[in-house]
Amino acid sequence: MSTPEDYYSDEWTETDSEINSDDRTDIYSGDGSDAGPDAGSDNDSDAGSELDRDVFGPLVDISEGSIIALATRIARDVLHVLPGKAELLKTVSGSYNIVHIVQLETVKLVIRIPATGWGDGMTKVAEDALSSQVATMRFIKEQTGAPVPEVYSWDPTNNNEISAPFICMSFVTGETVSSVWFKDSMDDEAREQFRLNILTSIAAIMAKFSSMTFDKMGSLMQAEDGSFFLGPMFEWVENDDDSVHAKATRTYFSMEELLACSIEPGPTGNVWDRAEDKFLKVFLENSPLLHYHSRFVLCPPDFDSQNVLVDEKGNKQHLAICGGCKKAFSVKHNRRCPFCLGKDTKEEKRHAKEDTIQEEEEEEEEEEEEEEEEEEEEEEEEEEEEEE
């Protein structure tokens, strides 16, 4: 397990030319004490999708028996329940995870396997990234009470029944916001109330996140003594062969530092990367708001509608922590607006555009019909004249 000392470095300055993947800051101890600098302060799957062998390699061949054996052991040793009859209900995949849902006699478990769990993806960084996901879920559950799955067991190695890293967590019910936001079964008034419930519950959770502030950006980690600390930020990078590897950067003391470290030190062959680097340089030179050290809060990496589950009334049931996003859930810049609001506006514009196109098509059809009728009348008149 990683320790805070694994991630120690000095504060970044504008003269730094290299990015160190080390840093630390203690946050909270696991025993509920107020130790730490902030003491006292108030993401995926495509259901039914086929598993991509280029991305997941031998992970797609993990047998049903191995999955059930793992779930049975966790139910017996961790939950202390008799597994009884076990059944693999569903296997789905997202961009960076395979998810197995197992139904036991009295409990339903979710086993999530990362795409980095095979071949060259099995690195120390990948282990730390998985550890960070677990630490984040535990921290959020302990400190905010936000609706995240409970982690029953996890293993960043392949020394287990399925020969792959995994996180085993509780099963949560609900529907994604993306699937219910435009419900056709509701009238306008009911739909607006439903959406208001969704946004109210999301705002309540984000308010809890905002109540805990940190003096730098990074990913949550947990030490052996149960205390939490900030490690580097993690992201998942796709290789040329479509396999995935985990990448760690560092912690950051300001948005200026984060953006500056995002600029490639030398020329790149990709025109889009060069354009992005030029834009960032101009942005850094002309944005005075970046040149100060602020406080940072927990920030979902992909705050989009497919990563939030709600019940039939629109109340939040679950927030994805280790879903299909390229970047990890982290301590970052303050407050984020749900992407679904932008999608809502785009959808309404799209619907309006579709209506306009449909009206134009109908008008064109009417004009064509009128022209055809006129042509038929002219032909009839010509025939009558010829007969006379």
d(CA 194, CA 383): 65
The reply to whether the predicted model has a pTM over 0.75 is no
What is the model's pLDDT at position 381? Answer: 78
116 pLDDT band, cuts 50/70/90, is very high
Mean pLDDT, the chain, integer:
77
Please, which residues have CB within 8 angstroms of residue 380's CB and are 6 or more apart in sequence?
A: none
In degrees to the nearest 10, what's the CA dihedral of 147, 206, 208, 205?
A: -30
Over residues 156-193, the pLDDT tens digits come to 999 999 999 999 999 988 888 888 888 778 888 888 89
What is the model's pLDDT at position 344? Answer: 58
Please, which residues have CB within 8 angstroms of residue 290's CB and are 6 or more apart in sequence?
A: 254, 255, 256, 259, 284
3.40.640.10, 3.10.580.10, 3.30.200.20, 3.10.310.30: which CATH number matches 4-253+293-337? 3.30.200.20
Domain coordinates in residue numbering, the chain = 4-253+293-337, 343-388
